[in-house]
Structure 1
């Protein structure tokens, strides 16, 4: 769905089109993408975009792992709205949702670790 139609749909549904939202497409992460851990979540900064990946409740140990990567359907460094996992050297954990956030929300989550 194009941005004007998505914004119109948000307005019709009473939502704020500028607020946090789930991305519509997959994002190929690269060596410049930055990851940070938060309690029960993973933060990703990719270019000017910022994301909050919520993990399944039983995965708090994955979010605290030193080395993480995002995997979707066997493709490393591919983050999708559905079907992605965060992998540590010892475990994989389902991403329950991917939320696009603004710089202020990202920084708050990074500093406060939720």
Structure 2
């Protein structure tokens, strides 16, 4: 192998390694990375109009779509809603660890998707039509 090819191969390896190292750093900045739990703040908004597979959640300054494992249309008309994880209220976790408790049922949370404020507002407008 000549020196030029060896340098090119080395440069490609360094670039690939640095790209792989950058991905976890970006994932750590995402508030609701897979498998993480989200602590609910006292300043929150739950948008459930049109709910069947998900609800919208504003938690302080952060915005999310909370997806359910199955249909959860009862969330749209229930008077009381609370997220419960391991018997404790005030926390939402992905992967079936959390339930949304309604007046007459429960819905299992599948995943929590972080979204930006503009997307949240757009989805709220769509649901209010």
Shorter-chain TM band: 0.7 to 0.9
Does the alignment pair 1:32 with 2:43?
Answer: yes
Question: What root-mean-square deviation, in Å, do the aligned CA atoms of Structure 1 and Structure 2 show?
Answer: 2.9
The structure-2 alpha-carbon separation of the partners of 1:36 and 1:8, relative to structure 1 and needing over 3 Å to count, comes to same
Deviates more, 1:71-80 or 1:50-59: 50-59
Aligned-partner Cα distance in 2 for 1:87–1:54: 14
Q: Could you state the TM-score of these two structures normalised by the residue count of structure 2? A: 0.65
Which one has a bigger Cα radius of gyration? 2
Instruction: Normalising by structure 1, report the TM-score.
Output: 0.73
Residue-by-residue CA offset, 1:21-44 (whole Å, 9 max, x unaligned): 671332221322221114321111
User: How many residues of Structure 1 are paired with residues of Structure 2 in the alignment?
Assistant: 103
| Structure 1 residues 112 and 103: CA distance shift in structure 2, 3 A | same
Q: Which residue of 1 aligns with 2:79?
A: 66
1:98: how far off?
A: 0.6
Structure 1 portions without partners, runs of 5+: 12-16
In structure 2, stretches of 5+ residues that fail to align are 1-18
